Amino acid sequence: MDLKIPRKNLSEMVLYVWKIIGLPSISQEDLIYILSFDLFLYDFTSAKEFVKLAIEKGLLLKTTQNILSLSNNLKTKLEEWQLKREEEISEKLKAIQIVKRIENASKNESNDFTILFRIFVDDATLTRTASILQSDIEYLRKDLDNGIIKARVKGSKENPYLININLQNKYIKHDCHDFETRKSKNKKFCKHLAKIFLMLKDEDETNIKMLLNEIANQINEWSFD
């Protein structure tokens, strides 16, 4: 959930506050109190100025009883954000279930994909894949028949991470810190690579198993960097 404080944008700041308080409406006095004494976003005087300006700009609607609610435009944005959050939570719950299935399979009966996948993915990395949404990954090229995968992955940096996998030339290139400094040295996958293989498995398990098998069988010929 992106809740960075957008102090320089009044509209986004009002929306930010409403995401936190989670109420359809609130009294002006209570909002000022929450901003200054609960959330510590402003001192008392600044909180009053913030609310006053939001009302003047039409971002907050005020009744004769000093009850505040979002403008129709911001209300629509809030509803869209809430829907997106519900979708993200649902996806993460599904991802957690997948992680648990793989963990259980590794202890009992494992299928071919799980056996190959677990060669490259440890428990901690597997667990961390649940934090990555499918919408965080954008494929630039996906040719599973020839084992070529190029993708951008949203990460903690401002610029997205890049992933480049090439079966013919036997390399995996990726620029996240964990992969560059730790995983690549042991020819293991970071959470981004693990997530992509889990996603691609659902699309074409046969080719993904073949790719993992090729990497595992010729690991000394593959470069991870």
Instruction: Render pLDDT for 104-157 as a digit per residue (tens, 0 to 9).
Output: 875 555 678 999 999 999 999 999 999 999 999 999 999 999 999 999 999 877
Percentage of residues in the chain having pLDDT higher than 90: 83
Q: Which of 61, 56, 86, 88 is nearest to 73 (CA)?
A: 61
| pTM (two decimals) | 0.74
- Rounded average pLDDT over 88-113: 81
Residue 54 reports pLDDT greater than 60? yes
Instruction: Say if residues 29 and 66 touch (Cβ distance below 8 Å).
Output: yes
Residue 3 reports pLDDT greater than 90? no
Where b means 16+ CB within 10 Å and e means fewer, 183-221 reads bbeebbbbbbbbbbbbbbbeeeeebbbbbbebbeeeeee
Under the banding of pLDDT at 50, 70 and 90, the label for residue 2 is low
Domain-wise residue ranges, the chain:
10-70, 110-224
- Rounded average pLDDT over 21-37: 96
